[in-house]
Chains A and B, each alone.
Chain A
Amino acid sequence: NAGVTQTPKFQVLKTGQSMTLQCAQDMNHNSMYWYRQDPGMGLRLIYYSASEGTTDKGEVPNGYNVSRLNKREFSLRLESAAPSQTSVYFCASLSYRGSEQYFGPGTRLTVT
């Protein structure tokens, strides 16, 4: 039982490049989330997925797209990366009781 996994762990992009951040959970949870965390700040929600086949915008969705590929996987895509998207990205899933969110280890993204 690996919990929530994310790939890659680190990534450097040039402005305008695109990439997809991958997230998978093996806990059979319905709801999944993408957050970003800028230095010295709390987490901000980018997108979330209440269940397979549905996605919704969070607080800071601009510049991102998501795909809930199946129940296990929830990916985040940057179509044209900008320096303002330099951040640490965390994926999370929500327990059935709705009490705890389980977080992945994060992807550290730098856009130059």
Chain B
Amino acid sequence: DAKTTQPPSMDCAEGRAANLPCNHSTISGNEYVYWYRQIHSQGPQYIIHGLKNNETNEMASLIITEDRKSSTLILPHATLRDTAVYYCIVRVAGGILTGGGNKLTFGTGTQLKVEL
């Protein structure tokens, strides 16, 4: 799986958009970009993933550059409950039985602190 680089920490005011960057310059053509987050003391939570098109769901938006070497996770209206460590992961999609990656490789992520 390709490696990713994220800033160790970011701050955001409540109600503003939080933009979390991720560099993945060695990403392969069949690797997706996944985002997870981990709120203190809880298990990681899936947020969103994408291949090359921008994606949006009820939690966030994912913007992937045209060369796919970097991406940005956007939380449009951050709240205090969004304070967490955010992990950017690149891997082949699919489960083990379908030839996908067998695991998620978690780095140290970005600690996002949302403040009043």
Chain B binder among A13-21, A42-50, A67-75: A42-50
CB distance from B42 to the nearest CB of A (A): 6
CB distance from B15 to the nearest CB of A (A): 28
Interface string of A41-64 (1 = CB under 8 A from B): 111110010110000101000000
The answer to whether A101 and B102 touch across the interface, beta carbons within 8 angstroms, is no
The answer to whether B104 and A51 touch across the interface, beta carbons within 8 angstroms, is no
Q: Number of B interface residues at 8 Å Cβ cutoff, please give it.
A: 26
Residues of A within 8 A of B106 (CB): 35, 42-44
The answer to whether A99 and B49 touch across the interface, beta carbons within 8 angstroms, is yes
The answer to whether B42 and A30 touch across the interface, beta carbons within 8 angstroms, is no
The answer to whether B43 and A90 touch across the interface, beta carbons within 8 angstroms, is yes
The answer to whether B109 and A42 touch across the interface, beta carbons within 8 angstroms, is yes
**CB contacts between A and B, total, < 8 Å:** 72
Q: Which of A74-112 contact B (CB under 8 A)?
A: 88, 90, 92, 94-106
CB distance from A99 to the nearest CB of B (A): 6
CA distance A42 to B111 in the complex (A): 12
- Name the prevailing secondary structure of the B interface residues: loop
The answer to whether A58 and B98 touch across the interface, beta carbons within 8 angstroms, is no
Q: Which of B67-100 contact A (CB under 8 A)?
A: 87, 93-98, 100
Residues of A within 8 A of B32 (CB): 99
A103-B95 contact, Cβ under 8 Å, with A43-B104, A45-B103, A98-B100: no
CB distance from A103 to the nearest CB of B (A): 3
B45 is an interface residue with CB less than 8 A from chain A: yes
A48-B42 contact, Cβ under 8 Å, with A41-B108, A42-B109, A94-B95: no
CA distance A90 to B36 in the complex (A): 14
Query: Which residue of the partner chain, among B43, B95, B104, B108, contacts A30 with CB atoms under 8 Å?
Result: B95
The answer to whether B42 and A31 touch across the interface, beta carbons within 8 angstroms, is no
CA distance A28 to B78 in the complex (A): 33
Residues of A within 8 A of B104 (CB): 43, 45, 101
Closest 5 CB pairs of A and B: A103-B43, A42-B106, A50-B96, A98-B94, A100-B46
| 6 A-B interface contacts by CB (under 8 A) | A31-B97, A42-B106, A94-B95, A99-B34, A99-B46, A102-B46
